[in-house]
Every structure is written in structure tokens, then in C-alpha cells.
Amino acid sequence: MADFLQLLIAGIATGAIYALAAIGFTLLWQTSQTINFAQGEFVMLPAFFALAAMKWGGAPFWLACLVAVAMSLLILGVAFKGLIVDPLIKHGAMPLVISTIGLSIFLKDGVKDAYSAEAQPFPAIFPDRLIEILGVKVSLAQIGVLIIAFGVIFVLQWFLGGTRIGRQMQATAQNPTVARILGVPVERMILYTFLINAALAAMASLLISPIYLAKFSSGETLGMAAFVAAIVGGFNQVRGAIAGGIIVGVLDNMAAVYVSTAYRQAVPLVLLVLIILFRPQGLLGRKEERAV
């Protein structure tokens, strides 16, 4: 039982990180119909910004983290929107999907050539000391991850629902045309979405890299987890992405122990297929009404 609880807590901790990536994914989808096949690489990259700042800039760790967030906002937010999404969005979904696949190859191989092909150890924000609560061993790092991830999610929920800008962003997501008529600066709201996605990716990157190491190819697994989380939870709901992230994180950890390490990756995928077949709007999603 204690083992089970330990796995559960570890699963929720990684799941909360997946949720960060999945929320960004759904936000982009909602406001600009962008399916970002490079989302995993978006989570892989910021850790390398931080590593580069420490290695070549001699920056201390806290400064390197800030640099990573700033670079993410600039490159994964502003540049991604301006250079890739904006010129392509008018041509429909397919060219954009292909372009983000190209982007994922670009980022992966860019990091491999510019930094290293080896997995890099990444300094942890929290000490990895074990403490015991009611007979269950929990590491401080896991608790730290949980607090930060849920803190970010909470702030984001408050921002989207409780502030004027947040509500304008929701209006843009639901119906850009009506939002524009009502005087919402739709273009700026879409830019905010991309910035939030970049910031969430950076947070996820700084939290997950101490656990799984920073590696150029880790975007493949991370992207898949974010993908599955977003769809399982509901593509059009932020709280769906949170639930989906946690489910995927827990399943992932449990499957490694209770199913088989060889087919560990298959378990979230089976869930994905079942959800798509029997509840395509996701666990918490609304049905999308489509015009003919």
C-alpha cells in the first residue's frame, strides 16, 4: 500500500508537469487552431537555454532560470507566432501541422549540434531529500514540483477567469468574430496565448529536467504525454488538460511497475484510443459544434 501511495505521488508530480505542457497545447488550439507538433521540443528547449546561460554566460542558477523563461517567451512565443504560425494559418491546418513537424526536427537537431547529444544533468530547484509522512516516503523535490505546478495552474485559472484580459482571451477562444465585434483586441489576445504557452513550457522544462535529465530527444516522450493528456482530458478545456496530465502521469508510473516496462508507453496510448473512440470530446470537454 505504501508502495502504491509512493507511486501515486510520484505520478501526480510528473503528471502535474505534463499538465503544464498540455494546458499550453489546448490554449493554442483554442485560440488559433494551431496543433503544435513541436510542443515536446518546446518543453525540451528551455532547460538548454538555462544550461547554455550557465556554461557560456557564467550565470548563477537562478539567473539562468530567468534567462530560460525570457528566451522562451521571445523564441517559443513571439518568434514562433510571427515566423511560423501567422504566415501559415490562412492556408488551413495541414501546412501548419507539417511546418511544426519541421520545427520539431529543427529544434531537436539544433540542440544536438549546438549543445550536446548526451543527456545533461540539470540542477534541481529542491533538494532530493526523503521525508516520511505517515509511513510513505516522499522526496522534497516531488513536493516542490507539486507546489509549483499547482501554483502555476491556480494562477492561470484565476487569470483566465478572474481578470479582464483573461476573460477577453476566453472570448477570443470561443468566437473570435464576435469577440472582435465586442471590441476585444483579438490579435493581442492570440499573442498573449502564445506567450502563456511559452511560459508554461519553460516552467515544465525547469521542473522535469532534474527528474529525467535534459536531452535533445526527450521532446518525443514529453510531446506525446502532452498530446495524450490534452485529448484525454478534453481538447477544449483547461481543466481537462490538468486532469489529463495527472491521469497520464499516474498511469505512466503505475504501468512501469504493474504492467511491464517494455509496454509502459503503450498504456497511455490505449487510453487515448479508447477516449477518442468512445468520448471524443474528452473526459471533461464539451462537444464542439461544427457548421456544415
Partner 1 sequence: MTRFNALKTPLIVLALALLILVPADLTGFGIPWGGLKRYGIYILSLWLVTSIAAMGVNLIVGYAGQETLAQAAFLGIGAFTSALLLKAGYPFFVVFLLAGALAFLVGIVLGFPALRVQKHYLAFVTLAFTVFMWLVIRNEDWLTGGVSGMDVKRPVILGVSTKPGLTFYYLILAMTAVLTFALRWILNSPWGRAFTALRENPIRAESLGIDVRTYILLAFAIGSAYGGFAGALYAPLVEFIDPAPFALGPSLLFMLMVVVGGAGSFAGPFIGAAVAVLLPEWLRFAEGLYLIIFSVIVMLMMALCPTGIVGLIERIFTPARRPHADDKGPVLKEAK
Footprint on this chain of partner 1 (rule: CB under 8 A): 33, 35, 37, 84, 87-89, 91-99, 101-103, 105-106, 109-110, 112-113, 220, 224, 227, 231, 262-263, 265-266, 269-270, 272-273, 276-277, 280, 292
Least spacing, CB of residue 249 vs partner 1, in Å? 18
Report DSSP state, residue 261: S
Which is nearer to partner 1, 105 or 133 (by Cβ)? 105
Which is nearer to partner 1, 88 or 145 (by Cβ)? 88
- What cell was used for 39? 510542443
Least spacing, CB of residue 287 vs partner 1, in Å? 12
Which is nearer to partner 1, 52 or 88 (by Cβ)? 88
The amino acid that residue 133 corresponds to is I
Least spacing, CB of residue 223 vs partner 1, in Å? 10
The amino acid that residue 28 corresponds to is L
Which is nearer to partner 1, 97 or 195 (by Cβ)? 97
Helix (H), strand (E) at residue 229 = helix 219-233
Distance from the Cα of residue 273 to its chain's centroid: 20
The amino acid that residue 199 corresponds to is A
Cα separation, 222 vs 70, whole angstroms: 21
Report DSSP state, residue 287: P
Least spacing, CB of residue 52 vs partner 1, in Å? 17
Q: Which of 28, 13, 14, 91 is closest to 235 using CA atoms?
A: 28
Least spacing, CB of residue 99 vs partner 1, in Å? 4
Proportion of the chain in helix, strand, coil states, percent, rounded to 5? 75, 5, 20
Which is nearer to partner 1, 137 or 264 (by Cβ)? 264
